[in-house]
Amino acid sequence: MRKIPLGRTGDQVSQLALGAMLMGTSTDEPTSVGMLERYLDAGGSFIDTADCYAWWPGPDNTGGESEALLGRWLAKTGKRDEIFLATKGSAWVRDPEPIRSGDGSWETMAAQWVGAGGDTLRRAIDDSLRRLGTDHVDLYYVHVDDRSTRLEETLGALAEIVSAGKARYIGWSNVRTWRLERVRALAEKNGWPAPVAVQEEHSYLRPKAGADTLSIVDDELTDYLRANDDLTLVAYSPILKGIYDDPAKRDGHQVMRWYAGPDADARLAVLTEVAAELDVTPNQLVISWLLHRTDPELVTLIGPRTPEQLETALAASDIKLPAEQLDRLDTAGA
């Protein structure tokens, strides 16, 4: 599995990262462990989780299950030094019940997030390290940008976390480009660690005009990343809940509200054609297309729930896209 630079840190990370979001809840422990071992055997080393994973699969879940499972696996195998480990704080949910019984909207969830206050992050990283059974993570994200807390407070706490050796690098997720620039400017002004990674939703479909792109890569962020190679994009939800393989699934699917329209239709048509020519699935082709990105180069973060889904994604990393087909995919659209 190919590795790429993480910003200008000097570290190399797997271009295909493994998300552990559902490990320990929707995916049981033996299956999760098998998937972790299979990913490492395939040459992967970049594992991503968060303290709030995953409160939503059932009423007995509160968050922390994924980190706890990873901690047990690391303690049993002694493989901590073999992986680049990332986790996140700020989106721990105070009380999941209002979200489970409500509309599940972004606004409903945001009202329950603990946020990125200094004391909150200091407690969160200590709790994450305890569950993970390690003295540090390699990358620590602000999971959801918190505008109710002064950035100076958040960055100051993150600087303390890095200085204490509890995290090697910091990142930001679900953040607008103008806020990311403000974060970086404040970090430079005060001599604090700046983000080396930004984690956003990114796929083959492009957000439609007027879409709320807080959590989705848009043209502005792409341009910003091209101009700032010290910042690496980690692209989550690359296959958008698996909608590419199944027209019936994407018809009316909630994820399509940000993408549906003439441009999506045109790109889906070309994607389907090229997938048939290569005898691969559209989902696999999307992952391969992302792995072929060089402007900017990025990490593709997969979140398989089953071993079969993991195998499908790993196979995508072996697909070689001829220049003509890559150009057709790149230029497709309304």
* Strand runs labelled E in the chain: 3-5, 12-14, 16-19, 46-48, 84-89, 137-142, 167-173, 197-201, 232-236, 298-302
Question: Longest Cα pair distance anywhere in the chain, in angstroms?
Answer: 54
- Single out the catalytic residue among 53, 141, 204, 224: 53
Euclidean distance between CA atoms 36 and 310, whole angstroms: 10
- Please report, as a single letter, which amino acid is at residue 249: K
The continuous run of DSSP H or E covering 286 comes out as helix 282-291
- 259 noted as active-site residue: no
Residue located via tokens 């341009």: 223
| Those residues with Cβ within 8 angstroms of residue 3's Cβ, 6 or more apart along the chain or in another chain | 12, 13, 14, 15, 45
DSSP state of 93: B
3-class DSSP state of 311: helix
The residues annotated with a catalytic role in the active site are 53
